[in-house]
Structure 1
Amino acid sequence: MPRSEKRKFYTQARRGSRCLRGSQATKTKEGKSSSSPSHSLEAAGQGPGAISCSTLQSQGTTKVPVSVDARVTKRVICKKDEKEGSSQALLPTVKSCEDSLTKVIAILVEFLMSRFKMKKPILKAEMQKITGKKYKHRFPEILERASFSIEVVFGIDMKEMESPMDSYTLVSKIDLPNNGRVSPGRGFPKTSLLMNVLGVIFMKGNCASEEIIWEFLNKMKVYAGEKHFIYGEPKKLITQDLVKLKYLEYRQIAHSDPPRYEFLWGPRSHDKISKMQVLEFLAKINNTVPSVFQSCYEEALRDEENTTLSPSISTITTCMNAPDPCPEDPVIHEEIEIDASIYI
């Protein structure tokens, strides 16, 4: 027999003897453990403690090459993914695309607000340069989402201008001083916060306790005593600044001990803002229509009819009908839900 074949023969023989000894040892162990039914179930892979490849490897019963074990694991995972459908595999890509789109929208909102502060018109061509060629086909969607953001967060409407060039202008929903910043200096418009507070007051029967106002504002991540990056110090804003400007009335509830306070529409709000306007704002935030708030919608329609006949009579009538003390009406908890993410 040639030398090379001899080596091959002896190698195979040694391997065979090892396998034989290993199988005998395994049989011996199985024989010892057969008296325990739980062990037999686990060895068969049928019990809660079924033996895994890693367990067998640690016990020395068999050797599983790491590379093979990894390949098998990878194959099992791939098969599982195929069963679950290819849609899950696309989720990270979709999320990445949405994140990029959100960043583009945020940049566009920043640009729009800078133009609002400077009181300059906005050209469509300028906005398309910001969004870039990559999102050219999605520009209408980007513009719509940016417009929605500045409306609900800042209380500013985006309107298309009548001009040869495609241009837009931004108009505050309420004519607050300093472009809605209330006081001179840097900062963002506070119009949205005022609109929300007026909405709560209206839906609570034209009068809302301070506790109810803060319960609502907390849903917007606006807290008393905590400076907000858009609204500044909110308690000072609604109990002092907007009261001085006569957009809100802040008074102590009669016979309350300890003292409790409530909010009403101020005379300037009655003069400058309609109930329908506030209702439309709240409806837009909740992705619905004003008529969903049936009782308030009917009152807003009556208010508009009275305003058409005589604005002064409407204002006087509304002020005279303001309840005293503040009613405990749970409408706000049942009908208005705030998506806090749009304010963050």
Structure 2
Amino acid sequence: MSELSKPKEDLQDPDEAQGPEEVQLLGAEGGEATSLSASSPPVSLSAPVEALPQEALNKMVADMVKFLLRKYRAKEPTSYTELLNTVLRDNHDHYPVVFCQAIECILLVFGVDVKEVDPRKHIYITVPNLGLTCDAVQRGGQGLPKAGLLVVVLSLILQNRDHIPEEEIWEALNKMGLYVGREHSLFGEPRELLTKVWVREGYLKYRQVSDSDPARYEYLWGPRAFLETSKEKFMEYLLRVSRRAFISFPLPSAEAVKEEEEGALSQSSSQADLSL
């Protein structure tokens, strides 16, 4: 049984998990190699690379995640060269570890897959994981991607024989720093997202448990989930993450991503004015 189906494990203190720069996700266990969509980074390390302080590494990973999210929303490809020169600048030697952690973050938190489309030039595209298009539905795709959370919820349902009591969903999501009635910097108010937004869009069903008194409720896959993806794809995905544990990754807050986007728009506007 995967780690997703173990909501009662003791993890991090909930108050520690609520910082705007962090979110809980499925991450690689210590010492285990990561196998994701993008190929191994095209860097040859002939000499040992000086170890980075964890804080500096976290900052580089967060910067690369922000950059990849911007590319995702703009529907633009990126490249090894661009990632080096735009994100890492003077830290090229650390590209392999930063790149691997960044694509793991963006997949497991935001539900965005990084795929290499040109192995010779190392060109990458960012696409929705498992075919889910919920981010395009919400705000025209302009907000922070939320498909990663939807993947977690659909996975929990699948592993609980296709329906899961509401209280068990919240036991699991509480471990990730998501609480009913408490606004989250990445996902907003989570109960409204699950019970109203995703039910309205057809990704989830929310219904009363038969013969329950007092009334209890449960979640199931909705018709749109079956239309856009499949249980088989989810099982393949779960095999990729089933040996991972819940850990914290440093991630850009919603405010940080918004500031970066506003800065990029301002810069583009200035360049346009200069060209006139």
If the length of structure 2 is used for normalisation, what is the TM-score? 0.66
| Among 130, 133, 158, the residue aligned to 1:176 | 133
Cα deviation, 1:170-217, whole Å, max 9, x if unaligned, reads 0001332443x6233742111111111111111111110000111111
Cα contact 1:285–1:338 (8 A) shared by 2: no
Residue in 2 that maps onto 1:226: 182
Q: Which one of 53, 58, 71 corresponds to residue 97 of structure 1?
A: 53
Cα distance in 1 between the residues matched to 2:239 and 2:178:
20
2:226 to 270, 292, 315: 270
Alignment of 1:1-344 (within 5 A): 97-132=53-88, 134-162=90-118, 165-173=121-129, 174-179=131-136, 182-184=138-140, 186-287=142-243, 338-339=246-247, 341-342=248-249
- 8 Å CA contact 2:73–2:142 kept in 1: the answer is no
* Structure with greater contact order relative to length (CA < 8 Å, sep ≥ 6): 2
CA displacement 1:251-304 (0-9 Å, x = unmatched):
01112122110011111212222223323444444535xxxxxxxxxxxxxxxx
Count of aligned pairs between the two proteins: 201
Deviation track 1:80-119 (CA, whole Å, cap 9, x = no partner) reads: xxxxxxxxxxxxx96x622211111111111111111111
Unaligned 5+ segments in structure 1 are 1-92, 289-336
The alignment partner of 1:161 has SS state of strand
8 Å Cα contact 1:153-1:343 kept in structure 2: no
Whole-Å separation in 2 of the counterparts to 1:343 and 1:214: 23
Q: CA deviation at 1:165?
A: 3.5
In structure 1, the residue corresponding to 2:118 is in which secondary structure?
A: coil
Q: Of the two, which has the highest radius of gyration?
A: 1
Cα separation, partners in 2 of 1:188 and 1:214, compared to 1, 3 Å: same
Q: How far apart are the structure 2 equivalents of 1:112 and 1:251? A: 37
> What is the rounded CA distance, in whole Å, between the counterparts of 1:167 and 1:195 in structure 2?
26
Higher helix share: 1
Distance 1:186 1:146 in 2: 21
For the 8 Å contact 2:134–2:146, the answer to whether it is kept is no
More strand by share: 2
Aligned equivalents of 2:160 and 2:250: distance in 1? 23
Gaps in structure 2 of 5+ consecutive residues:
1-49, 252-276
What amino acid is aligned across from residue 246 of structure 2 in structure 1?
Answer: I
Identity in percent: 34
User: Shift of residue 162 of structure 1?
Assistant: 2.6
Deviations 1:140-193 (Å, cap 9, x if unpaired)?
2211111000000100100011376331100001332443x6233742111111
| Cα RMSD (Å) | 2.4
Kept in 2: contact 1:154–1:190 (CA 8 A): yes
Counterparts of 1:201 and 1:270, CA distance in 2: 13
TM-score, length basis structure 1? 0.54
